[in-house]
Homo-oligomer: A and B are copies of this chain.
Amino acid sequence: MPSKKHIISDLGEKKLIHRIIKKTHNLQQDYYSKHPLIKKSLGDDAALMDLSEIGPSKNFLVVSSDMLLAKTHFPSQMSPRERGWKIVTVNVSDISAMGAIPQGLILSIGLPGDMEIRQFDELMDGVLEACNYYHIPLLGGDTNESSQMVLSGTIIGSVEKSKALMKSGARPGDIVAVSGDLGLAAAGFEILLSSTLDQDKIKSILPEKIIKKVIQKALKPQAKIKEGIIAAQSGNVTALTDITDGLASELEEILKASDLPLGIRIYEDKIPLPDEVKKIGEFFSKKPLDMALHYGEDFELLFCIKKDALASLKDKIKLMVVGEVTSTGNMEIVDKKGNINILPPGGYQHLEG
A residues at B contact (CB < 8 Å): 5-11, 13, 16-17, 19-20, 23-24, 27-28, 30-32, 35, 38, 41-44, 46-47, 49, 51, 54-59, 61, 63-69, 71-73, 101, 103-104, 106-111, 113-118, 120-121, 124-125, 128-129, 131-132, 135, 137-148, 150, 152, 154, 156, 158, 350-353
Contact partners of A144 in chain B: CB under 8 A? 13, 67-69, 72-73, 350-351
Contact present for A139 and B350 (CB under 8 Å): no
Contact present for A146 and B64 (CB under 8 Å): no
Contact partners of A20 in chain B: CB under 8 A? 124, 141, 143
Q: How many copies does the complex hold?
A: 2
Contact partners of A111 in chain B: CB under 8 A? 8
Contact present for B23 and A54 (CB under 8 Å): no
Q: How far is the CA of A62 from the CA of B111 in the complex (A)?
A: 26
Contact partners of A11 in chain B: CB under 8 A? 117
Q: How far is the CA of A143 from the CA of B96 in the complex (A)?
A: 20
Q: Which residue of the partner chain B has the closest CB to A115?
A: B8
Could you write out 6 A-B pairs with CB less than 8 Å apart?
Answer: A8-B116, A55-B56, A57-B57, A144-B351, A145-B351, A146-B150
Say whether chain A's binding surface is mostly helix, strand, loop, or mixed: mixed
Contact present for A49 and B104 (CB under 8 Å): yes
Known: A120-B16, A132-B27, A132-B28. A109 touches B63 (CB 8 A): no
| Nearest-Cβ distance from residue A57 to partner chain B, whole angstroms | 3
Given known contacts A8-B111, A65-B107, what 20 new A-B pairs fall within 8 Å (CB)? A5-B116, A16-B143, A27-B128, A41-B139, A41-B140, A42-B139, A47-B106, A47-B139, A55-B58, A65-B152, A66-B142, A67-B142, A67-B144, A67-B152, A72-B145, A72-B146, A73-B144, A145-B351, A145-B353, A150-B152
Partner of A7, one of B28, B35, B115: B115
Known: A67-B144, A154-B106. A51 touches B55 (CB 8 A): yes
Q: How far is the CA of A203 from the CA of B131 in the complex (A)?
A: 53
Q: How far is the CA of A120 from the CA of B6 in the complex (A)?
A: 10
Contact present for B106 and A67 (CB under 8 Å): no
Contact present for B65 and A7 (CB under 8 Å): no
Q: How far is the CA of A55 from the CA of B69 in the complex (A)?
A: 36
Contact present for A56 and B57 (CB under 8 Å): yes
